[in-house]
A and B are shown apart, each in its own frame.
Chain A
Amino acid sequence: EAQVTQNPRYLITVTGKKLTVTCSQNMNHEYMSWYRQDPGLGLRQIYYSMNVEVTDKGDVPEGYKVSRKEKRNFPLILESPSPNQTSLYFCASSPRLAGVSEQFFGPGTRLTVL
């Protein structure tokens, strides 16, 4: 089944404790992206990647890191989480430029930073 998977689905952590949220897609898509969803703000892009070893900042990159060593994987790293990073996070992939192709979303990761 074609899908985007994220792990973990739920995570409660404390300020400053490094964490990684994994994202994997099995559709051989070039384009991958991370979003955060906050009430009243919709989804905002954190980072995106156009292909292996090609990543760039989105609209809200502060406090996050990403890497793209393999085409299928695009982990999101929070080196020192803070409470304002409490949010719902989505990974997405698409086969080519996002503007003309559907983005496929993972199920989401709900993160709480205490």
Chain B
Amino acid sequence: AQSVTQLGSHVSVSEGALVLLRCNYSSSVPPYLFWYVQYPNQGLQLLLKYTSAATLVKGINGFEAEFKKSETSFHLTKPSAHMSDAAEYFCAVTSFSGGYNKLIFGAGTRLAVHP
């Protein structure tokens, strides 16, 4: 069965510093992987997705993620944090079950950005 583990429920960085949010997945088939962001009092918004094309995926707001099959990882990075990046981030993997695909989410990582 597919699953997702996000390491670190809270991450704190200074403005301008590197952002690294970790995600490891478990999948018995080639996975589709997603990162979503949730700003306060809002729904989830897609940041980026990996669908077996390029292993380095670029998303919105300067974020990118690299798919590493050998490490079963899909970590999210941004070179320079901005105050507006403060939000909760969710990694998700597709689960093929019962003839349809659904998303399995990690527990989330809350990112705080300090001036």
Contact = CB atoms under 8 A, between A and B. Distances in A.
Contacts of A35: 105
A106 B96 contact: no
Contacts of B34: 102
A112 to B, nearest CB: 15
Nearest to A4: B43
A107 B43 contact: yes
Contacts, number: 62
B26 interface: no
Q: What DSSP secondary structure best describes chain B's contact surface?
A: strand
Nearest to A106: B43
A105 to B, nearest CB: 4
Interface stretch (A11-19, A39-47, A67-75, A79-87): A39-47
Interface of A: 4, 33, 35, 40-45, 48, 50, 56, 58, 90, 92, 97-100, 102-103, 105-108
* 6 closest residue pairs by CB, A with B: A99-B101, A99-B94, A105-B43, A42-B105, A105-B44, A43-B105
Interface of B: 4, 9, 32, 34, 36, 41-46, 49, 51, 90, 94-96, 98, 100-103, 105-108
